[in-house]
Each structure stands twice: as structure tokens, then as C-alpha cells.
């Protein structure tokens, strides 16, 4: 961590926010069952996730001081002893109803779960003192907005775990509503096969864990990166290893390019309000998707699917100063002619306002002025590039 900090890098670690496995010595020694979530029938709720090492775990009730203190105590060690910069609190942003009669909360429904989580979040920040810590949770949820810094929205890579043939299409609805108030991030988008934990049974370890995926799936990754950019998400890559800096240079360049572009224009892409994306005229193509998720491929190998996608994705944002930005991300290797339909009325743009094109290197080039009504703006996008049109 010291080496990372010296290099200007910050790290948060995974720390599940509610599970305690019931076969552990500590479960008995600390009488954890007393503070576990109970179902309507009075039984302790049990959840089992890992198909290779199927240990039942009990969700603990965050409304109880016992569990909050236990969790905050571990967090304290992680933050002060190991010097981490925060936590990814898995399964936070999911709440449960608890029917335990002696936890001091109403049976079943109520707002005790949120009250308890808020207490926990306050305690974590209090223990952190002046440290600039970050806390993230799983999923997007309105009730957690005041208490968490970042929200894991893996749906950007949904095809990796849900068959597109099921008919579900991902829409950035959470970002559309809450973008200025919440940093969303995260993806299963990876250039490798999923990892395998050293603590899981050796016998079921696949030979390909963390080895590079076939490049026939690269456009899936590019599409995921492009979505993150035009949806205003924090750019993320899953399962990164240094070998990818050389073996998958163009894919990493793409991530870097979009990340820099976003970073230079955070008033739109991090703090802005999402607007309706403009219509963009560009060709579409089938994108081959690998369906390997995290565990899914382990039983029976990978499956594939295809989705139809435009070769340039678009998003639109309004900054707090009232400027509008159109973000464009190309997922094709060749340059593309695109036409962006800019509707002055839809975005409430002033006629004559200057339109500036910003590229990934930060160069700003004036390309015209806003016309009355709708106007078509033709552009050439270099391969695998990001471009932003700002209406000043």
C-alpha cells in the first residue's frame, strides 16, 4: 500500500457488509446467531454463493449494534493497520427484512435497516478521522446516496452474466436520475478469464484462470468501456494485470483515452445531469459477447451471444453552469463518418452559441455555432476514439 500511495494510487478492498459464514469457529464463539437476520418462520436466513466451496453464510442484521461494531472493528484494522483508502462493502445497497423478535426493531418491514446502515457509515467515517476515505456499495440505490461515495453498477457488462436472448436491454436509468449525486462505477468487463481464489479447492481450479481472453471478444470490452463513458460512469476494468499493458495495448489505450477525456471534463461526466442522447447516424454491427461472468463458465465452459450495436455510442450532459456536452465513443478500429443531430430546442441551446470539439488529448477546436432548430453536424471520428462536443 505504501508503494501504491507513493505512486499516487489509492485502493479500496472487498469486505462483505453482511455475511458471516455459519461453519466458522467465530460464529459459535461470538454467538453470532443471536444477531443474524431471521426469516418469517423464525429460522436464521442462510445464503450460499460459492459453487466450489459452498459454505452457508448468514446475513447479519445491520440494525444491531453487535454487527455494526463487529464490522466497523474489522474496517478499523483495514484502514489504520493496512492503510487502505476505503472499502467496497459488498451487498450494501441491498436491504433485508428481519423477523427476529429480540433485535429491538419492528418485525419485518420498517426503516431500521437504513437507520442501522447510516449509523455504521457514520461510525466508519468517524474512525477514519481526517483520512480521505471512500466507501462503495453494490448496486444503485437512492436510500444509500447520503452514506456511500460510489455505487457498483455492473449492468454495464450485463451480457457477461445474462443471456441477451432473454430480451433484457440495459438502460442507464439510475444515472439518468441521480448522476450528479452518485459516482457509479464497476464492470465485469475484463480482458481475461475470471480469477480463481487461492482459498478455494485446488481440484476445481480451471487452467485458464486470469489468462487472456480470445481477441474475438475484444469489441465486447470496447462496447462496455464506451457505455461507461457515455453513461457518465467512472471508468473501470476488471481483472487487470500488467501484462495487458503490452499484450492488449490498444484495448488499454482505449480505456486511458476515455478516462482522460472524462477526467478533463468532470463538470459534465461526473457532476453533470444526463440529457437525452442525440440521434447519431452511423453503421451498426453484431458484437460477439463472451458469457463467462465470475463463476458461470466454471461449469460447462463459456457460452457466446451477439448483440447489435451502433459503432459509435453517444451521451449528452448538462453542467451546473448550463453548458451542454455531447460525448461520442467509437468502438471500431477504423475512422467513421458520423452525423450528430443537435436539436437546439431539446437542449435549450442559445442560437449562435459556439460549438467546440474536444479530443482525448484535450485539444479544443471550434467547429461552428448553434443554428435555429435542429442541425446536423458531420464529423470524422478516428478509430477507437472518444470525442466531446461542447456547446458553450
Determine the interface stretch with Zn ion among 103-111, 150-158, 184-192, 263-271 (rule: CB under 5 A): 103-111
Nearest to 294 by CA among 206, 385, 169: 206
The angle formed by the CA atoms of residues 34, 36 and 40, to the nearest 5 degrees, is 105
Is the Cβ of residue 98 or residue 311 nearer to Zn ion in the bound state?
A: 98
Counting residues that bind Zn ion (by CB under 5 A) gives 4
d(CA 160, CA 166): 13
β-pair partners for 318: 273, 324
Is the Cβ of residue 105 or residue 219 nearer to Zn ion in the bound state?
A: 105
Is the Cβ of residue 105 or residue 291 nearer to Zn ion in the bound state?
A: 105
Determine the interface stretch with Zn ion among 7-15, 95-103, 289-297, 340-348 (rule: CB under 5 A): 95-103
DSSP secondary structure letter of residue 48: -
Is the Cβ of residue 103 or residue 227 nearer to Zn ion in the bound state?
A: 103
Q: Which helix (H) or strand (E) holds 374?
A: strand 374-381
- Sole binder of Zn ion in the list 92, 93, 98, 389 (CB under 5 A): 98
103 contacts Zn ion (rule: CB under 5 A): yes
Give alpha helix (H) positions in the chain: 2-6, 25-29, 65-76, 112-128, 173-178, 218-230, 244-247, 249-264, 266-269
Nearest to 175 by CA among 262, 95, 267, 276: 276
Please state the closest distance from residue 67 (CB atom) to Zn ion, in A: 9
Nearest to 60 by CA among 102, 18, 14: 18
Is the Cβ of residue 63 or residue 329 nearer to Zn ion in the bound state?
A: 63
328 contacts Zn ion (rule: CB under 5 A): no
Question: Are the beta carbons of 330 and 381 closer than 8 angstroms?
Answer: yes
- Sole binder of Zn ion in the list 16, 95, 100, 184 (CB under 5 A): 100
36 contacts Zn ion (rule: CB under 5 A): no
Is the Cβ of residue 97 or residue 177 nearer to Zn ion in the bound state?
A: 97
Determine the interface stretch with Zn ion among 47-55, 58-66, 331-339, 343-351 (rule: CB under 5 A): 58-66
- Sole binder of Zn ion in the list 12, 61, 158, 220 (CB under 5 A): 61
Determine the interface stretch with Zn ion among 53-61, 82-90, 323-331, 370-378 (rule: CB under 5 A): 53-61
CA max distance for the chain: 73
Is the Cβ of residue 103 or residue 291 nearer to Zn ion in the bound state?
A: 103
The percent helix, strand, coil of the chain (3-state, each to 5) is 30, 25, 45
Those residues whose C-beta lies under 8 Å from the C-beta of residue 61, and which sit 6 or more positions away, are: 35, 36, 37, 67, 96, 98, 100, 103, 105, 116
Please state the closest distance from residue 30 (CB atom) to Zn ion, in A: 17
Place of cell 452514506: 147
d(CA 27, CA 67): 12
Is the Cβ of residue 63 or residue 316 nearer to Zn ion in the bound state?
A: 63
Determine the interface stretch with Zn ion among 43-51, 102-110, 211-219, 360-368 (rule: CB under 5 A): 102-110
Phi, psi (deg, nearest 5) at residue 219: -70, -25
Determine the interface stretch with Zn ion among 43-51, 98-106, 237-245, 370-378 (rule: CB under 5 A): 98-106
- Name the site residues for Zn ion (rule: CB under 5 A): 61, 98, 100, 103
Amino acid at each position: 500500500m505504501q508503494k501504491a500511495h507513493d505512486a499516487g494510487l489509492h485502493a479500496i478492498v472487498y469486505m462483505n457488509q453482511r455475511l458471516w459464514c455459519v461453519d466458522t469457529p467465530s460464529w459459535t464463539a461470538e454467538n453470532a446467531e443471536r444477531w443474524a437476520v431471521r426469516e418469517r418462520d423464525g429460522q436464521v436466513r442462510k445464503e450460499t454463493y460459492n459453487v466450489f466451496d459452498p459454505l452457508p453464510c448468514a446475513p447479519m442484521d445491520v440494525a444491531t449494534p453487535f454487527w455494526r461494531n463487529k464490522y466497523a472493528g474489522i474496517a478499523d484494522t483495514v484502514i489504520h493497520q493496512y492503510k487502505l483508502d476505503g472499502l467496497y462493502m459488498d451487498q450494501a445497497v441491498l436491504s433485508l427484512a428481519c423477523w427476529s423478535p429480540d433485535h429491538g426493531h419492528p418485525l419485518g418491514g420498517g426503516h431500521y435497516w437504513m437507520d442501522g446502515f447510516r449509523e455504521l457509515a457514520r461510525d466508519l467515517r468517524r474512525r477514519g478521522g481526517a483520512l480521505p476515505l471512500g466507501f462503495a456499495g453494490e448496486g444503485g440505490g437512492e436510500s444509500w446516496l447520503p452514506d456511500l461515495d460510489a455505487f457498483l453498477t455492473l449492468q454495464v457488462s450485463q451480457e457477461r452474466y445474462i443471456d441477451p436472448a432473454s430480451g433484457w436491454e440495459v438502460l442507464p436509468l439510475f444515472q439518468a436520475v441521480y448522476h450528479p449525486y452518485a459516482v457509479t462505477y464497476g464492470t465485469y468487463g475484463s480482458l481475461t478469464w475470471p480469477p480463481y481464489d487461492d482459498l478455494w479447492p485446488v481440484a476445481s481450479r480451471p487452467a485458464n484462470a486470469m489468462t487472456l481472453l480470445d481477441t474475438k471478444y475484444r469489441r465486447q470490452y470496447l462496447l462496455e468501456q464506451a457505455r461507461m463513458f457515455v453513461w457518465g460512469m467512472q471508468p473501470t476494468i476488471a481483472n487487470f494485470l500488467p501484462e495487458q499493458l503490452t499484450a492488449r495495448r490498444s484495448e488499454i489505450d482505449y480505456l486511458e483515452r476515455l478516462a482522460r477525456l472524462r477526467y478533463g471534463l468532470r463538470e459534465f461526466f461526473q457532476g453533470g445531469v444526463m440529457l437525452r442522447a442525440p440521434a447519431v447516424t452511423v453503421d451498426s454491427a453484431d458484437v460477439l459477447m463472451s458469457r463467462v461472468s465470475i463463476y458461470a463458465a466454471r461449469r460447462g465452459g463459456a457460452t457466446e451471444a451477439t448483440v447489435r450495436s451502433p459503432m459509435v455510442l453517444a451521451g449528452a450532459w448538462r453542467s451546473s453552469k448550463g453548458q451542454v456536452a455531447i460525448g461520442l465513443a467509437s468502438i471500431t478500429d477504423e475512422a467513421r463518418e458520423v452525423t450528430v443531430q443537435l436539436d437546439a430546442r431539446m437542449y435549450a441551446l442559445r442560437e449562435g452559441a459556439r460549438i467546440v470539439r474536444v479530443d482525448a488529448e484535450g485539444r479544443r477546436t471550434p467547429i461552428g455555432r448553434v443554428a435555429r432548430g435542429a442541425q446536423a453536424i458531420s464529423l470524422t471520428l478516428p478509430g477507437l476514439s472518444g470525442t466531446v462536443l461542447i456547446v458553450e
